[in-house]
Structure 1
Amino acid sequence: MRLLNRMEFVAETLRAALEALAAAAPNWLEQALAERETNWLGRYGERVDAWHGLPDDQDRDSWLRQVGEDGFHLLTAAWRPDAPDWLRRIPALETLRRAWLQQYHRGQDGVRARESEDLPPGHQRLASL
């Protein structure tokens, strides 16, 4: 159950950031998303609790990794020197940044979800209500 809650949390956090950016900077977002070949609308167009399971060809670990990679792509684009600096002040993007620091590692071997012993203590961790 914790894993399903975590999956919903990270996907909904990313979806909220995408929706906020679509409203505030649609042209910038379109350009940023075009740089990464991902079915953004198919993956994040609906609330995650609206579907009941994963795509048939993915296990939970690879799905979590994919969401993490997508989120890091968006964060990297927003923190580039040529991105408008006001983007980084959008609350949903700041929430995404904080959630990704807590939920994921990104290193030379790629993106991976943090293990339970590597997560911040529950009282410090962002969580959905």
Structure 2
Amino acid sequence: MPLIEPEWAKRYGRKVQIGKVPGGKAAVRECAEEFGRDGQKLLAAAWAADAPSRLRMLRQVEILRQVWIHQYHCDREGYLRWREGTALPPTALRFDSPYDTDAHYCVKRDVEWSGYRVHFTGSCDQDLPHLVVYVATTIAPVQDGQPTDKIHDDLATRRLAPAEHIVDTAYLSPAHIERDQRVHGITLLGSILAGNSRQAKAGSGFDKSAFIIDWDNEQATCPRGATSASWTKLHISGHTDFQARFADSDCRPCLDRARCTSSAIRSRSVAVLPRLLQRDPDA
């Protein structure tokens, strides 16, 4: 039985744009799963016992194998199914084109693209030429703030570390401020991202800034004078934070509960940075 079927010439003889298949979503899925079965047939032949082992070492075959892992799965009955939506692997793990396996899909606010993310560092000294001194390229899903430390490490290696570095909010965090000042003597300048709690966004109620933090005694004091009942160490995104939680016996009868928390059951908790990171870097 021939491996290549006559219908394949019609099916793949021209560029396929699966999103333009007539018949709606069901027709698109049917078409995608037909493609999947064809690809599965090729992969099965490449991994057959009598197939030359060098066939499986070809880059094209390996890319096909990875694409099929990303895009398809077998259901309980053993039928090949097309992955959609949340069934797909994270964008950082799946490439978006067999022609460029480093290109990944990404969405930033209202912009969608497939490819990379590029970070430029330039000089802005007065009375001197403004030059691009460093370019960092990452896969698209890497968030803007993630390369901050590496950018400064590389600049320092090239003896280009600035005394001050003005950055966008996304590149700035208390951890970056502390680390880059300590390791490279770089002062990061920019606007810290505003609090994203309900209270901070609304500009009313008790956001984090309304609480007094006592690191020595590992306690937080709320605006009504109650002290936290627990202090828990957390590890978030590679950094150590703390969570101060208040007792139910203090929160439930509190007259300001609605201004403090929207939960009808749980008591208020506050995320706290380590003392060194919480301190104002300009102080």
Of 80, 85, 95 in structure 2, the residue corresponding to residue 111 of structure 1 is 80
Task: Give TM-score scaled by structure 1 length.
Answer: 0.63
TM-score, scaled to structure 2 = 0.30
Counterpart amino acid of residue 32 in structure 1: L
Q: 1:74 to 1:52 in 2, by over 3 A?
A: same
% identical equivalent positions: 36
Partner of 2:70: 102
Q: Which residue of 1 aligns with 2:21?
A: 54
In the alignment, does 2:90 pair up with 1:121? yes
8 A Cα contact 2:36 2:68, kept in partner = yes
What is the CA distance between 1:52 and its match in structure 2?
Answer: 8.5
The count of residues paired between Structure 1 and Structure 2 equals 95
Shift of 1:33: 2.0
Q: Deviations over 1:40-79 (max 9, x none)?
A: 1111122225x983367x8101001101111111100110
What is the CA RMSD across the aligned residues, in angstroms?
A: 2.5
Q: Which has the higher contact order (CA 8 A, sep 6+)?
A: 1
What letter is aligned with 2:88? L
Partner of 2:247: none
Query: C-alpha distance in 1, partners of 2:14/2:29?
Result: 21
Any unmatched runs of 5+ in structure 2?
A: 98-114, 116-283
Distance 1:45 1:55, change over 3 A: farther
- In structure 1, stretches of 5+ residues that fail to align are 1-29
Query: SS of the residue aligned with 1:112?
Result: strand
Distance in 2 of aligned mates of 1:52 and 1:103: 15
CA contact (8 A) 2:72 2:80 kept: yes
My pick for the range that moved more, 102-111 or 119-128, is 102-111
C-alpha separation between the residues in 2 aligned to 1:127 and 1:91?
16
- Shift, 1:109, TM fit: 4.0
How far does the alpha carbon of each residue in 1:56-112 deviate from its partner, in whole angstroms, 9 at most, with x for none?
7x8101001101111111100110011111111111111010010111012424111
Question: Which one has the bigger strand percentage?
Answer: 2
Counterpart-to-counterpart distance in 1, 2:19 and 2:91: 26
Report the equivalent of 2:3.
32
Are the structure 2 counterparts of residues 55 and 93 from structure 1 closer, same or farther at C-alpha, using a change threshold of 3 Å? farther
* Cross-structure match for 1:83: 51
Structure index of larger Rg: 2
